[in-house]
Amino acid sequence: MRSFFTRSTVSKVAGWIALAAAVLATVNPVSAQQPAASVVQAAPAPQVQPAQQPLAPPPPPSWQQGRPESMKSSTLAPNPPGLTAKPASEMKLDKIKLLPGFSIELWAQGLPNARSIAVGAKGTVFVGTRLIENVYAVVEKDGKREVKTILKGLYRPNGLVFHNGALYVAELSRILRYDNIEDNLDNPPKPVIVFDALPKDEPHGWKYMTLGPDGWLYFNIGAPCNACVPPDTHAAIVRVDPKNGVMETVAKGVRNSVGMAFHPNTKELWFTNHGRDWLGEDMPNDTLHRVSKKGVHFGYPYCHQGDFVDPELGKGRSCAEFTPPALKLGPHIAPLGMRFYTGKMFPAEFRNRIIIANHGSWNRTNKIGFNLMQVTLDAQGKPVKYEPFAEGWVDGNNYWGRPVDVQVMNDGALLVSDDVAGALYRISYKK
Amino acid sequence: MRGVSCLFAGAWLVAAQAIAADVEAGRAKAEVCVACHGLNGNAVLPGVPSLAAQPAMHTFLQLVQFREKRRRDPQMSPFAEKLTDRDMQDIGAYFAAQKAAPSSFVVDANKAAIGRKLLEAHHCGSCHMPDLSGQNQIPRLAGQNVEYLVKQMRGLKDGSRRDIDGTMASAAQALSVQDIDNLAHYLASVK
């Protein structure tokens, strides 16, 4: 409840952002590329520097922050981005291991950098991107599936929500709304700006967005670094009321969440979170969290995975101060999209299980992740089983694809997006 | 040490697989490129980047960016428009297999000396590698054309050139015009 403001208090917001920017300057003097149209000025334009006076040197790139001196010669670096769509011949779907009765097929291809999935009321499948400015729509027409690029030139349009006929798009620093989108796929309307006062930091700045049962839009504002004490505005999950632009903090101490969903029965928010890098091959774990109370703090940057105090930033702190995760998911696996299985196609025991898409590791010698995992909860909502659902996007240290998001379709099948193959897969079940 | 050698082998395999491209096919497809980018991709025209020994993935992804109009240049853009992904992969593989020739550019030694210090202060080797040979999507900077380097760094700073994920645009914010000039002289001098 600490960050609470409305669009009518824009000046306050601007001050808030400027403050955040000032605090941030010590961490990461970034706020680099900005979307074309922005109402709120983040900070006054910088003064022109005298030619001979060098600017202060910056910190290392965010992925390398926190790397110990002893690992200076490490060749570990983030995996290269996927910006193209692979031909079907390069997708080794026959190598994907599934449970008995399940099968996987290539459902749509030609969607470079395919990220979050949202489904429209009329069955349109919308797909966002992180690095290439597009939003796609996949439609069935005359029995044929067609991929359209419906929006272009957006800035990090990673988060998508479909609600009341409109497509909501979360860019790096704005939430946009495209009304009546399914009837206007070939000529989308000008967007309505729902909210545009979000920070513009690039590291962990892209959004995953989901719709709450309360009608609010929930999304992440990630830490602008690998490991740092973030501004109070960051390392959080927040929500915005699309009706009036009011914003509230939902959870704090969250390094970066790129996947979240509401439990179909309890209506509690669950989300995946990425642990920090450079603390070892197997530490700390990425995590799954349950938000039982608004405003709860999950520990970042002081405590990781609920029981591991950060060797530098956690000095003088204890994990007992914070809420632990519901489940440790494994180190460096990069859990992204997650959904509760609410369909009727899969066997009855799959009902309300969580299926998580793991993008796969970089900060580890041997790659892990690159798969889908499933979490079974007991009647109290406690995870009791954590096991593979689909594996085989990586072979040794070579990956050919990277799962990003999962989405339960109306027929109960599961769609999976892949931003390296630029494709959507469909996982179905037959007795 | 064993872990390290495994890692190198792994990285090599990933690179080999990612290319899956044909150097010889690339040679034929790159014939049109050498008019500006020089014999074997060693450019001599001012402002034109050398492509020899660039990581294959870098050349591939930059061609994609030109084709998709996320990077624009009046000379370059028309050439990228008609290329398929496969063409771009082949061209990337071809230039990656070429040897970088020593640059004939006469470096200002004073500027290069300052630039060398800036290189460390600004952590350029983190992504571009300590020997500035680049990796994956990250370009080789060693021996690159000085005017090209200046233009790109200025563009990244003022936002007229967007990089893929914002890392370089962020890094460029901390460079003054003078810094950029000094840094470019040093980078151009690296063999």
Question: Between chains, do B170 and A131 touch, taking CB under 8 Å as contact?
Answer: no
Long-range contacts of B44-50 (CB under 8 A, 24+ apart): B44/B104, B46/B145, B46/B147, B47/B145, B47/B147, B47/B148, B47/B151, B48/B145, B48/B148, B49/B144, B49/B145, B49/B148, B50/B100, B50/B103, B50/B143, B50/B144, B50/B145
Averaged pLDDT, A317-325? 98
Answer whether A354's CB lies under 8 Å from A339's CB: yes
- Structure confidence at residue B58 (pLDDT): 98
Exposure on the CB side of residue A69, measured as CA atoms within 13 A: 0
- Within a domain: residue B182? yes
Whether B159 is in a domain gets the answer yes
| Residue A241 within a domain | no
- The confidence score (pLDDT) of residue A48 equals 47
- The reply to whether B55 and B120 lie within a common domain is no
Identify the band that residue A58 occupies on the pLDDT scale cut at 50, 70 and 90: confident
pLDDT over 50 at A334, yes or no: yes
> B42 and B68: one domain?
yes
Of B96, B121, B137, the residue that ends a domain is B96
Under the banding of pLDDT at 50, 70 and 90, the label for residue A54 is low
Percent of chain B with pLDDT strictly greater than 70: 90
B176: which chain A residues are within 8 Å (Cβ-Cβ)? 49, 51, 53-55
The pLDDT of residue B165 is above 70? yes
Under DSSP, is residue A417 helix (H, G, I), strand (E, B) or coil?
A: strand
pLDDT exceeds 50 at position B3: no
> Range of A416's domain?
83-112+337-431
pLDDT tens digits, A101-115: 999 999 999 999 999
In a domain, B53, yes or no: yes
The dihedral formed by the CA atoms of A57, A62, A64 and A65, expressed in degrees to the nearest 10: 70
Q: Which of B14, B126, B169 has its CB closest to that of A64?
A: B126
- Give the closest of B13, B64, B164 to A398, CB-based: B13
Q: Is the pLDDT of residue A26 over 80?
A: no
pLDDT value of position A86: 96
Residue pLDDT, tens place only, B39-78: 999 999 999 999 999 999 999 999 999 999 999 999 999 9
Amino acid A141: pLDDT: 86
Confidence (pLDDT) at A28: 40
Confirm if A161 and A211 have CB atoms less than 8 A apart: yes
Task: Say if residue B67 is in the same domain as residue B113.
Answer: no
Give the model's confidence band at B12: pLDDT under 50 very low, under 70 low, under 90 confident, else very high: very low
* Cβ distance of B167 and A202 shorter than 8 Å: yes
Chain A residues closer than 8 Å to B164 by CB: 81, 83, 131
What is the DSSP track for B86-129? HHHHHHHHHHHTSPPPPP-----HHHHHHHHHHHHHTTHHHHH-
Q: Chain B: nearest CA to A365, how far in angstroms?
A: 6
- Residue A348's CB: how many other CB atoms inside 10 A? 6
Calculate mean pLDDT across residues A46-65. 69
Mean per-residue pLDDT of chain A: 90
If one compares B62 and A24, the residue with the highest pLDDT of the two is B62
ipTM > 0.90, yes or no: no
Give the residue from A65, A202, A362, A402 with the most B CB atoms within 10 Å of its CB, the best one to mutate: A202
**Has residue A431 been placed in a domain?**
yes
Q: How confident is residue A282, by pLDDT bands cut at 50, 70 and 90?
A: very high
- Give the number of other CB atoms < 10 A from CB of residue B86: 14
Q: Is residue A45's pLDDT more than 90?
A: no
Q: Is B102 part of any domain?
A: no
Quick check: is B81 in a domain?
A: yes
- Cross-chain Cβ contact A90/B20 below 8 Å: yes
The CA distance from B28 to the nearest CA of chain A, in Å, is: 23
Residue A172: inside a domain: no
Give the domain-ending residue among B96, B120, B154: B96
Residue A64 DSSP class: G
Chain A partners of B7 at a C-beta cutoff of 8 Å? 75-76, 365
Q: Please give the pLDDT value at position B105.
A: 84
Question: Number of structural domains, chain A?
Answer: 1
Strands A303-304 and A354-358: unpaired
- pLDDT band of residue A57 (cuts 50, 70, 90) is confident
CATH assignment of the domain containing B132: 1.10.760.10
Last residue of a domain, one of B44, B64, B96: B96
B6 pLDDT above the threshold of 50: no
**pLDDT above 70 (res A124):** yes
Q: What is the pLDDT of residue A19?
A: 38
Smallest CA–CA separation between A427 and chain B, in Å?
26
Nearest neighbour of B127 by CB, restricted to A77, A84, A367? A77
Query: Residue A56 — very low, low, confident or very high, per pLDDT cuts 50/70/90?
Result: confident
In a domain, B148, yes or no: yes
For residues A136-143, give the mean pLDDT: 93
pLDDT band at A1 (very low <50, low <70, confident <90, very high): very low
Chain B residues bordering chain A (beta-carbon distance below 8 Å): 3-4, 6-8, 10-11, 13-14, 17-18, 20, 57, 61, 64-65, 68, 70, 85, 118, 121-123, 126-127, 135-137, 159, 162, 164-167, 169-179
> Is the pLDDT score of A7 beyond 60?
no
Instruction: Give the confidence band of A347 by pLDDT, cuts at 50, 70, 90.
Output: very high
CB contact under 8 A, B179 and A55: yes
- Greater confidence (B13 vs B164) lies with B164
pLDDT band of A35, cuts 50, 70, 90: very low
Distance CA A378, CA A385 (A): 9
Gyration radius from chain B CA atoms: 16
What's the domain range around B147?
109-189
Largest interatomic CA distance in chain A: 74
Does residue B4 lie in a domain region? no
The reply to whether B117 and B90 lie within a common domain is: no
Please check whether residue A55 lies inside any domain of the structure.
no
CB A63 within 8 A of CB A75: no
One domain for residues B113 and B185: yes
- Together in a domain, B92 and B139: no
Which positions in chain A touch B177 (Cβ < 8 Å)? 51
Task: Please state whether beta strands A296-297 and A247-252 pair in parallel, antiparallel, or not at all (unpaired).
Answer: parallel
Name the band, by pLDDT with cuts 50, 70 and 90, for residue A53: low
**Residue % of chain A over a pLDDT of 70:** 87
Does any domain span residue A387? Answer: yes
How many Å apart are CA B63 and CA B81, to the nearest integer? 9
Together in a domain, B80 and B123: no
Q: What is the pLDDT of residue A59?
A: 86
Asked which of A162-166, B5-9, B123-127 is least confident by mean pLDDT, the reply is B5-9
Section A242-258 average pLDDT: 97
Number of domains in chain B: 2
Predicted local distance difference test score (pLDDT) of residue B20: 63
